[in-house]
């Protein structure tokens, strides 16, 4: 177990269990001889209510988080590529997407026994809004280790300092914002190159403008082809992830089925043993009652025996006296 594993396990529990789980994990690391890890685990902060709810979605309903992140990618792509119509349509859909995601967070939190306050729900919405506007924030909400809420205007990179517990090299992608993404840098370079190479429009005869229009058409075709290639690559990757996840799910379901059968078997044995114990208790009680009765009868018989012995002794003495009298008179 390393700090990342401990954090993933710790941030998957409910707020009321957080402190006890953190203490248990730290003790486990200490017992294993890793004092530094134990200290690091003990220093992991308890997440804010809104951050906890988002972590629960990442664990229990990842499709909600995925929807928010994908919507943000579409929104930023439309903005970067200057697709005003797509950007306008997505902007109109944004609040509906946010409302749906926040409702999912509230419902799940209530289901887990920790309903969100109005302030926490607002924090969730603000964090999802930042995740739509910034690639780094979008990656942060998928980790399941969010410590605090996020905020961003969409014009500057979202500050992720201290936002993710046990952040490491594998979380480098959460430090890359939409403003510094490779796609935007490439788009900027391409725009700059076109601006630098294109001659002023007032110096170019009308007949010479036809090649430029053709070039623009070719460029649009190339852009569409690149989009299609990216989409196909994403689809292939998603299929691979699905196949792996499906196989893992099948294995987990098989293990769960085996565990369920074991539980049922043990439950049956426990029921039989409890029944046997109850029967034994009843039998023991009956034997104890019988023992008490026999003890009383034995004591009564002992007393009767003593009386009979005394009576027999007295009768024997009387008989001996009578025999001696007969002997004297004969």
Listed in sequence order, the residues at least 6 apart from 140 whose beta carbon sits closer than 8 Å to its beta carbon are: 131, 146, 150, 158, 160, 163, 164, 174
- Report CA torsion sign: 147, 148, 149, 153: negative
Q: What is the pLDDT of residues 30-69, one digit of tens each?
A: 999 999 999 999 999 999 999 999 999 999 999 999 999 9
Q: Between 53 and 237, whose confidence is greater? A: 53
Query: Any idea which of 167-176, 217-226, 239-248, 282-291 has the lowest mean pLDDT?
Result: 217-226
Under the banding of pLDDT at 50, 70 and 90, the label for residue 186 is: very low
* pLDDT given for residue 98 in this prediction: 96
Report whether pLDDT(162) > 50: yes
Overall pTM surpassing 0.85 (yes/no): no
Report whether pLDDT(231) > 80: no
Tokens of 70: 């994908």
Tokens of 62: 């990842």
Q: Stretch 162-188: mean pLDDT, rounded?
A: 57
End-to-end Cα, the chain, rounded Å? 115
* pLDDT given for residue 179 in this prediction: 40
Four-point Cα dihedral 270, 272, 273, 277, nearest 10: 140
Four-point Cα dihedral 57, 79, 158, 166, nearest 10: 50
The CA distance from 132 to 94, in Å, is 9
Q: What is the pLDDT of residues 58-90, one digit of tens each?
A: 999 999 999 999 999 999 999 888 999 999 999
Coil vs helix vs strand at 112: coil
* pLDDT given for residue 30 in this prediction: 94
Q: What is the pLDDT of residues 294-329, one digit of tens each?
A: 998 988 898 888 988 989 888 988 898 888 889 888
Under DSSP, the state recorded for 152 is: -
Under the banding of pLDDT at 50, 70 and 90, the label for residue 7 is: very high
């Amino acid at each position: 177990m390393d700090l990342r594993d401990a954090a993933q396990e710790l941030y998957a529990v409910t707020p009321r269990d957080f402190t006890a789980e953190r203490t248990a994990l730290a003790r486990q690391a200490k017992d294993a001889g890793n004092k530094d890890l134990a200290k690091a685990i003990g220093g992991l902060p308890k997440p804010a209510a809104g951050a906890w709810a988002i972590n629960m979605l990442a664990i229990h309903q990842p499709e909600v988080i995925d929807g928010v992140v994908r919507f943000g990618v579409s929104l930023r792509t439309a903005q970067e590529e200057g697709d005003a119509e797509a950007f306008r349509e997505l902007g109109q859909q944004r609040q509906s997407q946010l409302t749906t995601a926040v409702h999912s967070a509230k419902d799940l939190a209530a289901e887990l026994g920790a309903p969100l306050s109005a302030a926490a729900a607002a924090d969730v919405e603000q964090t999802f809004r930042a995740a739509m506007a910034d690639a780094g924030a979008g990656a942060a909400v998928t980790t399941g280790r969010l410590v605090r809420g996020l905020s961003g205007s969409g014009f500057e990179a979202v500050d992720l300092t201290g936002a993710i517990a046990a952040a490491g090299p594998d979380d480098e992608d959460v430090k890359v914002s939409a403003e510094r993404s490779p796609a935007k840098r490439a788009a900027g370079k391409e725009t700059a190159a076109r601006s630098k190479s294109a001659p002023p429009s007032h110096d170019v005869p009308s007949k010479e403008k036809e090649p430029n229009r053709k070039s623009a058409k070719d460029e649009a075709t190339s852009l569409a082809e690149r989009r299609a290639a990216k989409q196909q690559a994403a689809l292939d990757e998603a299929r691979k992830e699905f196949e792996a996840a499906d196989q893992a799910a099948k294995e987990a379901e098989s293990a769960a089925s085996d565990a369920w059968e074991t539980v049922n078997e043990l439950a049956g044995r426990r029921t039989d043993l409890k029944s046997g114990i109850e029967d034994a208790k009843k039998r023991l009680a009956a034997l104890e009652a019988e023992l008490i009765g026999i003890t009383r009868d034995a004591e009564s018989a002992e007393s009767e025996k003593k009386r009979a012995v005394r009576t027999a002794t007295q009768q024997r003495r009387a008989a001996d006296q009578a025999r001696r009298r007969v002997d004297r008179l004969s």
